[in-house]
Structure 1
Amino acid sequence: MPAALFGILLSALQSVLGFVLRSVIIKFVVFYALYFVVREFVPVLINYGLFSGTGKATALTSALTSIPASVWYFLDLMNFSMGVSTVLAAYVTRFIIRRIPLIG
């Protein structure tokens, strides 16, 4: 009887260990590698001038400065600046994730 119980416990331990090694550790390594690549890739893009203040960014700035003060009052009530920055960050994140070959 103890040999059968030992076999069951060994089988359970082997299946749990197999699950951890096959899925958890592999996923951790893959996602850490993706995190490291994105973390090191964004400063390279900034150094190449991808996020410089030319082009559409200056057009957006000039469009926002032409909004009258009465409209800015309501935009401030709705916390427009936080909403716009959150939406833009979400779009940039979606763009970056879709360009990663393993995920997108």
Structure 2
Amino acid sequence: MFPILMAAAWSALSWLFRSVLVKFVFYFALYFFVTESVSYLQGQGMLPSAASLSQAFGAVGTGVWYFLDLCSVSYGVPLVIAAYGARFIIRRIPLIG
């Protein structure tokens, strides 16, 4: 009975180290790389800031702004821009893209 339990324990540990730990390290490195590269690009002025987007939305009339606010465009546009930036950066990684 003991060899069966040891085999089950070793197979569980090997699965844990082979799949879970390796994926955790890989995805953490990917997350760290993306967050640091985006903050670096924002610091260099290569990505649009929230101030420039608010200036662009400031020129919109009140009739149009009602429908934009109804659809939460002021929240969605920066979200979409950040998603496109992250997709662009992730596709440049050789193992994924």
Q: For this structure pair, what is the TM-score category when the shorter chain's length is used for normalisation?
A: 0.7 to 0.9
Partner in structure 1 of residue 87 of structure 2: 94
- CA-CA distance at 1:101 after TM superposition: 1.9
- Which protein has greater RCO, CA pairs closer than 8 Å, 6+ apart? 2
5+ residue gaps, structure 1, are none
1:34 counterpart letter in structure 2: L
Q: Secondary structure at the match of 1:45?
A: helix
1:100 counterpart letter in structure 2: I
Identity of aligned residues (%): 49
Structure 1 pair 82/44, CA: closer, same or farther in 2 (3 Å)?
closer
- CA-CA distance at 1:43 after TM superposition: 2.8
Deviates more, 1:13-22 or 1:90-99: 90-99
CA–CA distance in structure 1, aligned partners of residues 3 and 10 of structure 2: 10
Partner in structure 1 of residue 23 of structure 2: 27
In the alignment, is the contact (CA less than 8 A) between 2:41 and 2:47 conserved in 1? yes
Q: TM-score, normalised by structure 2?
A: 0.75
CA–CA distance in structure 2, aligned partners of residues 86 and 39 of structure 1: 14
The alignment covers a number of residue pairs equal to: 94
The reply on whether 1:48 has 2:44 as its aligned counterpart is yes
In the alignment, is the contact (CA less than 8 A) between 2:90 and 2:96 conserved in 1? yes
Partner in structure 1 of residue 76 of structure 2: 83
In the alignment, is the contact (CA less than 8 A) between 2:34 and 2:90 conserved in 1? no
1:50 counterpart letter in structure 2: M
Measured on the aligned residues, the alpha-carbon RMSD in Å equals 2.5
2:90 counterpart letter in structure 1: I
- CA-CA distance at 1:35 after TM superposition: 2.0
